[in-house]
Amino acid sequence: EGLNMGKYTELTNDNFEATTNSGVALVDFWAPWCGPCRMIAPVIDELAEEFEGKAAICKVNTDEQAELSTKFGVRSIPTIIFMKDGEVVDTMVGAASKQAFVDKLNSLLQYKIYYYLSK
């Protein structure tokens, strides 16, 4: 376990709401023993860097945060939920390509821009 260079946010009951209540957030529910979770871990790190200042890229360790897993109905991992202003807008279960995550985040961020323009 080297130095963690990723800019993702580790979420717990204490900081979950404050982190996800405004703007766009990707939340990766994972556990250390989960193979597919380890596969997408580097992707989550990259997304955290690429979307820094634009979207919150977060992880929830389901072994330590059972309450959050239950609250969001996470039954298998990895489960990635996409949130917008505190609301779950999409869920992806299982490992996916980086592009799939990028497209989803961009579409949520895009929507925000149109929304502001139309107000």
**Candidate list 24, 25, 26, 34, residue with the active-site label:** 34
The full 3-state SS of the chain, as one line of letters, equals CCCCCCCCEECCCCCHHHHHCCCEEEEEEECCCCHHHHHHHHHHHHHHHHCCCCEEEEEEECCCCHHHHHHCCCCCCCEEEEEECCEEEEEEECCCCHHHHHHHHHHHHHHHHHHHHHC
Catalytic: 58?
Answer: no
**Candidate list 24, 37, 47, 83, residue with the active-site label:** 37
Catalytic: 37?
Answer: yes
Residues with active-site annotation: 34, 37
